[in-house]
């Protein structure tokens, strides 16, 4: 049982991300490509959650700026977090798609539908051209590079 996925479904995204990171390390050490890919997908989902959270914070910050005079610095900080998390998600999505093609492993339809919905939000945040370029950069990563990239501490957790 994937405890990262269980905790994601329960709404404990920080714990889910921690457990997914531990799973990535374990499955890479075991050379289990399918589980590594599966866990990388879960890491990407959690990063998308953090990006959406940052986007919500940015919207609230913008409202506070307008209504209460909150500083532009706070608003810009939220925007940078949204952009950073969206780029991480796009990189990992590109890497996952390339890795999936390499090992000839297709994502189940229900999961693909969910991921496409999540990536639509990331694409809207980044803009089509930036999303495509970032996803393409991710697809050029080796599986090992993608796992190292995924294991970097996400900005939302700092």
Domain ranges of the chain: 3-157
* Cα separation, 90 vs 149, whole angstroms: 12
What is the tens place of the pLDDT at every residue in 42-98? 888 888 887 777 777 766 666 666 665 556 676 677 778 888 888 988 998 898 888
Residue % of the chain over a pLDDT of 70: 84
The string of DSSP letters for the chain reads --HHHHHHHHT-HHHHHHHHHHHHHHHHHTT-HHHHHHHHHHHHHHHHHHHHHHHHHHHHHHHHHHHH---HHHHHHHHHHHHHHHHHHHHHHHHHHHHHHHTT-PPPHHHHHHHHHHHHHHHHHH-HHHHHHHHHHHHTS-HHHHHHHHHSPPGGG-
Does residue 154 register a pLDDT over 80? Answer: no
pLDDT score at 158: 43
């Amino acid at each position: 049982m994937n405890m990262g996925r269980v905790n994601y479904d329960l709404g404990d995204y920080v714990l889910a991300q921690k457990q997914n990171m531990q799973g990535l390390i374990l499955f890479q050490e075991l050379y289990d490509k399918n589980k590594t890919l599966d866990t990388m997908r879960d890491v990407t989902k959690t990063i998308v959650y953090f990006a959406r959270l940052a986007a919500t914070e940015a919207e609230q910050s913008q409202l506070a700026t307008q209504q209460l005079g909150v500083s532009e610095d706070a608003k810009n900080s939220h925007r940078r977090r949204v952009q950073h998390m969206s780029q991480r998600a796009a990189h990992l999505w590109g890497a996952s798609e390339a890795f999936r093609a390499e090992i000839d492993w297709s994502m189940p339809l229900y999961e693909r539908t969910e991921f496409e919905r999540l990536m639509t939000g990331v694409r809207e945040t980044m803009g089509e051209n930036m999303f495509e370029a970032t996803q393409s950069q991710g697809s050029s990563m080796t599986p090992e590079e993608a796992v190292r990239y995924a294991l970097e501490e996400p900005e939302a957790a700092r």
